[in-house]
Homo-oligomer: A and B are copies of this chain.
Amino acid sequence: MPLDVPAGYEILTEAALPGFLAAIPGVADRLGGDPGGWSVREVGDGNLNQVFLVDGPAGSVCVKQALPYLRLVGEGWPLGLKRAWFEQKAMRVHGPLAPGRIPHLVHYDERLFAIVMEKLSPHIILRRGLVQGHRYPHLAEHIGTFMAETLYGTSDLALPAAEKKSLVADFCANSELCGLTEQVIFTQPYMTHPNNRWTSPQLDGWAERARSDADWKMAAARLKSKFLASPEALVHGDLHTGSIMVTPDDTRVIDPEFAFFGPMGFDLGAILGNLWLNYFAQDGHATGTDPRADMQAWVLDTAEQVWTRFRARFLARWRGGATGDAYPAALFADDAGIRALEAERQAYMDRLFADALGFAGAKITRRILGIAHNIDLELIADPDRRALCEARCLTLARALMVETARFRTVADVTAGAKRIRETVQAP
């Protein structure tokens, strides 16, 4: 371990876990019985974080510890480890705004950069469920509401300016992880970069287009500018279908280590983009006995519902009486003011929708041409079949980014996605 790890930091082991947990007030009671009898399993991928699941006779917890971030070692270990601090801070802010939608936070250990939280069971990662063709009837309501509550609740509509700015300042320090997003989502896919990969040679033309299409690149650059300097609300910052855990009845948002004050459309676009990507990917998983047509219809409808539920809840909160410093209610108390404010709310939502579409397109593109791919597409073994799904994804993604104004409603995106699926052939 390098010498510049913060004093006192050590990598937790399965053997050390019971002693670590037993010393935290309340945790021994939660697990029950004798620490020596607790079952401990490390289930993380070992690259960025360790994740331990701990079971006792009375209950269980999950422990997530940040590991020194090997790939960014040049930028210093302490900053890399601090992502755990941002994660627990985001949980503390978002948790009360969206009760039941994130794991319960039990404890944060500053020395070990470790979060002790509720163990989710029998939840699975949403992305995996979607790839397997499972539907989640409450997903849209849960996620739409989660975004409305957390984004509205940390915006200038809800928070007094001084309180919001204090939080903005806290999260300004999360610039290392924001910098990753700036690079791998908004920059690298549009240039020649060793991090990029794609289904080759099938998508070589698409990769070349992303590097040469000035309209597409400019759309990405504009979205990047918005990402850099639009502290609208505390966004999760990585709200794709891999950051959501589900059961048939429950939905939980995890892993907010990328949280910062950014554009609300970034969270909206993350979930919408990943659902639309999944829609096209279903064709790669369809079989004679599992044709996936109903699943595809459900995915598209769910994307529509995510936006619709978000919009309705956000507006309801705003109409219910803004508590922040933006759009002071006292200025719009007369009839003309009430009408003007309602018109402004509609325009505000239209602007958020356009932002969401742009970011959705960027999130789709990076999953196909950038460094980080996902199992919706990666699990399609036949490269030709995968490339066809991917070409359709990219067709929609570019349209969402470059021709954003063409999509006036979320139904327009549904119609556009269906048309693309019917018309776009093998690249």
Q: A143-177: contact bitstring with B at CB < 8 Å (1 yes, 0 no)?
A: 00000000000001000011011101110110110
Interface-lining segment among A26-34, A244-252, A327-335, A362-370: A327-335
Beta-carbon contact of A331 and B225 below 8 Å: no
- Which B residues lie within 8 Å of A325 (CB)? 179, 182, 224, 228
* CA–CA, A161 and B214, complex, Å: 23
Q: State whether the Cβ of A200 lies closer than 8 Å to any Cβ in chain B.
A: no
* CA–CA, A229 and B159, complex, Å: 12
Q: State whether the Cβ of A405 lies closer than 8 Å to any Cβ in chain B.
A: no
- Which B residues lie within 8 Å of A220 (CB)? 331
Beta-carbon contact of B344 and A218 below 8 Å: yes
Q: Add 17 more A-B contacts to A212-B334, A217-B332, A218-B341 (CB < 8 A).
A: A161-B175, A161-B178, A165-B178, A169-B173, A187-B328, A187-B330, A214-B334, A217-B331, A217-B337, A220-B331, A221-B326, A221-B328, A224-B325, A224-B326, A225-B326, A228-B325, A230-B230
- Which B residues lie within 8 Å of A326 (CB)? 221, 224-225, 228
Interface residues of chain A: helix, strand, loop or mixed (majority): helix
* CA–CA, A162 and B173, complex, Å: 8
- Which B residues lie within 8 Å of A412 (CB)? none
Beta-carbon contact of B179 and A172 below 8 Å: no
Q: State whether the Cβ of A190 lies closer than 8 Å to any Cβ in chain B.
A: yes
Within 8 A of B (CB), among A317-348: 325-328, 330-332, 334, 336-337, 339-341, 344
Q: State whether the Cβ of A110 lies closer than 8 Å to any Cβ in chain B.
A: no
Beta-carbon contact of A187 and B228 below 8 Å: no
* CA–CA, A9 and B192, complex, Å: 57
The 5 closest A-B pairs by CB, nearest first: A169-B172, A214-B340, A162-B175, A214-B336, A169-B169
Q: State whether the Cβ of A70 lies closer than 8 Å to any Cβ in chain B.
A: no
* CA–CA, A331 and B334, complex, Å: 50
Cross-chain contact of A190 among B178, B182, B331, B341 (Cβ < 8 A): B331
Cross-chain contact of A156 among B173, B217, B228, B331 (Cβ < 8 A): B228
Shortest A216–chain B CB gap in Å is 10
Q: State whether the Cβ of A312 lies closer than 8 Å to any Cβ in chain B.
A: no
* CA–CA, A323 and B326, complex, Å: 33
Q: State whether the Cβ of A232 lies closer than 8 Å to any Cβ in chain B.
A: yes
- Which B residues lie within 8 Å of A169 (CB)? 168-170, 172-173
Beta-carbon contact of B232 and A331 below 8 Å: no
* CA–CA, A170 and B221, complex, Å: 26
Shortest A331–chain B CB gap in Å is 5
A331 with B229, Cβ < 8 A, contacts A169-B173, A178-B165, A214-B339 known: no
Residue of B nearest to A186 (CB): B328
- Which B residues lie within 8 Å of A340 (CB)? 214-215, 217-218
* CA–CA, A165 and B215, complex, Å: 28
A161 with B228, Cβ < 8 A, contacts A172-B168, A214-B332 known: yes
- Which B residues lie within 8 Å of A218 (CB)? 332, 340-341, 344
